[in-house]
Amino acid sequence: MAEHPPTSEPTSLHVHAADNLRYIRETMESTGRFTELSGLGYMLIGVSATLAWLVSQWLQPEFTLAVWFVEFAVATVIGLWFTLRKAAQAGATLWNQSARKLLLAFSPPMAAGGLLTLVLYPTGNLPLIQGIWLSLYGVSVMTGGLFSVNIIPVMGASFMVSGAIALLWPETASWMMLLGFGGLHGLFGLLIWRRFGG
């Protein structure tokens, strides 16, 4: 009776699953969408911005910008840490093609905002600076969001509206800072967390 040739062991299920996940990840990257933005991170940025606003109300106006400079650093750390955490949980690398596109679109308006802050800081025109921050941050989020989930450009447009109100009616600038950096981050962070996780 002839012997059958030995058959190779069936590939284990976890190898198939890993291959499938790798394929899905590569396919998502090829679409140019960065999906690792953290909803929880945005919510915490909203909380930290609200605290910064409250602190600024207790200080002299000349210290307000310093408070927001500190908040910018805190928000950057929060955003990066939670994005890295979400990417690690998804088994994705943070520095992929879609992330580079997002950063390239996000950075120029932010750089312009930084330059305008340096130029306008000596004038002490706080409402003008705050209106510019809200507007250019909105532009950054809107353009960068073209390479992320669909809700991000909507958040950017909302910041631009807040900035326009602050620029047209300077007496509202402080409240727009609270509404924008505190409220909009919190609201859209919640929506992102519920729909996309992280």
The pTM assigned to this predicted structure is: 0.79
**CB pairs under 8 A, 24+ apart, for 122-128?**
124/61, 124/62, 126/61, 126/64, 126/65, 126/173, 127/166, 127/170, 127/171, 127/173, 127/174, 128/167, 128/170, 128/173
Q: 168-179, pLDDT tens digit by residue?
A: 999 999 999 999
* Cα(14)–Cα(105) distance, integer angstroms: 38
Which of 9-13, 107-111, 140-144 shows the lowest mean pLDDT across its residues?
A: 9-13
* Cα(117)–Cα(130) distance, integer angstroms: 9
* Cα(133)–Cα(127) distance, integer angstroms: 10
What whole-number percentage of the chain has pLDDT above 70?
Answer: 78
Cα of first residue to Cα of last residue in the chain, in angstroms, is 60
Q: 85-110, pLDDT tens digit by residue?
A: 887 787 766 666 777 787 888 899 99
* Cα(15)–Cα(17) distance, integer angstroms: 5
Q: 49-67, pLDDT tens digit by residue?
A: 999 999 999 988 889 999 9
For the chain, the structural domain boundaries read 32-196
pLDDT at 3 over 60: no
* Cα(121)–Cα(111) distance, integer angstroms: 15
Q: 174-195, pLDDT tens digit by residue?
A: 999 999 999 999 999 999 898 8
pLDDT of residue 101: 81
pLDDT of residue 8: 47
pLDDT at 5 over 80: no
Confidence of residue 30 (pLDDT cuts 50, 70, 90): very low
pLDDT of residue 9: 47
* Cα(64)–Cα(137) distance, integer angstroms: 18
Closest CA to 196 of 42, 19, 46, 75: 42
